[in-house]
A and B are shown apart, each in its own frame.
Chain A
Amino acid sequence: MGRFLARRIIICVLTVAGASFVIFASLYLAPGDPISFLTAGRPSSPELRAALAAQYHLDDPFLHRYLQWITDAFQGNFGESIARRRPVLDLIFANLPTTILLVIMTLILVVVVGVLFGGIAAFRRGPIDDGIMAAMTVSLATPAFVSSIFLISVFAVGLGWFPVFGPGTDIGDRIHHLVLPAVALTIAWWPVIGETARASMREEHEREHVETARSRGLTPQHIVRRHVFRNAAIPISTVIGLSFAGLVAGTAIVESAFQLNGLGSLLITSVTGRDFPVAQAVALLLVTVFAVTNVVVDLLYAALDPRVQTSWSRK
């Protein structure tokens, strides 16, 4: 078990290291010249250009710059934003709370809605199942920005129940501001959990061990809770882990649509604005989150399935 975990963590670190190189290289190789951005397109003297290049180490050899960047990043120093003249880390910290809150709210909504409706569909064959399946298909096919616009026009502009834009101030206000963005993301992601919940609960319900439980006169509620749902929780939690990564990436679109100052919108503005220190730092942070999620999913899997624990301790 310990060795398996160690191996998973090493893989995780290697993934982040590899990804960091790709992130750094892709921005370096991307078309467009950061110096023109820095000078805002105005004619500039060669001296100014040289000074800027020196400040951002633009003339050093590529590998040298990469190593410099990654060592600094390790020490929490991601440099300074070109566009905003502020330390990148400050920007990230300023934008982090919105994204974290949005992801947590969405995750709760996605899991509750997905498991609830997936579970209902699994056990209520016929029109209810068909209706939920149709809703999942439509939901899955609706892009998050489309549902964002829909939610804004109906619930924010039309009914005025929720604020239209912005992140809010204190915690209650923030949550209020984030309801519609979370719903927009949930519309895109609940079918993923819902479909897995439906399929796995149905499959578990047909299992022989459930037949044993029925032959013992246990109540349907007990069987669903302790056998069907307990066992289906294994595939469901794996899919939750996998969709978590997609969800975090998906915040970018929703944050832009609702003009929230989150990490996703920070990534988008920094990429389009060629603010490469910011773009690199945010991308690296997201990759790290994905890699750590994978390890957490593995741990969760082992916690839920005793057969995995045994095979781990044998390895």
Chain B
Amino acid sequence: MSLLSIKDLKVSLPVDKERRVVLRGIDLELEAGESVAIVGESGSGKSMTARAIARLLPRRAVVSGSILFDGRQVLDLKDAALRRFQAAEMAMIFQDPRVHLNPVRTIGDFLVEGLVNTRGSSKKAAEHKVIELLDEVGIPDGTRRLRQYPHELSGGLLQRVMIAAALASEPRLLLADEPSTALDVSTQSDVMAIIDDLCKSRGMALMFITHDLELAAAICDRTAVMYAGQIVEVQGSTDLVEHPRHPYSAGLLGAKPNVSRRVQRLNAIPGRPRAAFEVQNGCAFSDRCRFASEECIASEPTLKHEPGGAVRCFRADDLILNATEGAVL
């Protein structure tokens, strides 16, 4: 049994008296200790997926489908049971640590808060533990840091504090929503390396949300590509980068400017990304796809499972896609 099993997860949110669909049916499995990356353009629903798992969706969100965590239905959890799940089984790291930490409370207050209030640790024991954790995430002078306030620390240090806080509860699943995007370039790779190391050494499953397919491949076992509120392709990360199966994945790879290669590729995907609620019939990507056929415009493809992954494209078997060239027939 998988640690996390998401089936046909649909989410809609109220926008000016209307309901707006943001997730149109997500299917994803995650084994214990495994890492999966979720990649896609802005607005594709990556954060909403993570929020649905953490039960942090906005008020009045309508959710359907199933999220099983270790066999338990996360969507049915309520009150104390929900808080126990959040406190003990999962942890979430957000994009901008500066706004995700309370500015008027100390780092120490923040770090021990979870242990003291949801685990019943004594303050002293909790402090002892978090100082060790700070050391593990590369903050050696923990005792001093506990007394500091968030505004006294750099973004990179704050994100390490967030990681330490996430580890404190010894969760089985870490949800990391673009954890390095808001940081200085110089600290981005450090923070990613810490997350990678700690997940591996502790056997913690990781869901890593990013825009960067190559970073995803460097960190995660598998990568899922999202478009307009759906997963369009899942594969082993290296396979996906080398042999993308969905034209959108190939386009994303082509669109990513890569300095290390000599030929500058600029075949970005034409058109603008579709939002989930704008999709009508047919494949959500069909209006931007070079290979769209009549079938693609008329009806919507399903996510077809195949050895090593899954792809949502009628033409997946006709196409041989190549990341360097964008795509060839």
Contact = CB atoms under 8 A, between A and B. Distances in A.
A305 interface: yes
A234 B103 CA distance: 12
B105 A218 contact: no
Interface in B121-170: 149, 151-152, 162, 165, 169
A135 B84 CA distance: 40
Interface in B84-129: 84-88, 91-92, 94, 96, 99-106, 113-114, 117-118
Given A217-B85, A218-B118, A212 B101 contact: yes
B200 interface: no
A208 interface: yes
Contacts of A214: 56, 86
A306 B102 contact: no
Interface of B: 54, 56, 82-88, 91-92, 94, 96, 99-106, 113-114, 117-118, 149, 151-152, 162, 165, 169
B118 A208 contact: no
Nearest to B106: A306
Given A208-B96, A306-B151, A307-B149, A216 B103 contact: no
Contacts of A227: 102, 105
A233 to B, nearest CB: 9
Interface of A is mostly: helix
B100 A211 contact: yes
B152 A310 contact: yes
A218 B114 contact: yes
A212 to B, nearest CB: 5
A208 B114 contact: no
Contacts of B86: 214-217
Interface string A279-315: 0000000000000000000000000111100100000
A276 B118 CA distance: 65
Interface of B is mostly: helix
Contacts of B102: 209, 212-213, 227, 230-231
A305 to B, nearest CB: 6
B94 A212 contact: yes
A75 interface: no
Given A209-B99, A216-B87, A310 B151 contact: yes
A49 interface: no
Contacts of B84: 217
Contacts of A212: 92, 94, 100-102, 162
A307 to B, nearest CB: 5
A219 to B, nearest CB: 7
Contacts of A310: 149, 151-152
A217 B83 contact: yes
Contacts of B152: 310
A86 interface: no
Contacts of A304: 104
Given A211-B56, A306-B151, A310-B151, A216 B118 contact: yes
B220 to A, nearest CB: 21
A217 B100 contact: no
Nearest to A215: B92
A234 B105 CA distance: 13
Contact of A219 (B54, B101, B117): B117
B104 A217 contact: no
Nearest to B84: A217
Interface string A198-214: 00000000011101111
Given A215-B54, A218-B114, A307-B103, 10 more contacts: A208-B99, A212-B92, A213-B102, A217-B82, A217-B88, A218-B117, A222-B117, A231-B102, A306-B103, A307-B149
Contacts of A307: 103-104, 149, 151
B103 A209 contact: yes
Nearest to B92: A215
B85 A234 contact: no
Contact of B56 (A207, A209, A215, A234): A215
Contact of A216 (B105, B106, B169): B169
A305 B104 CA distance: 6
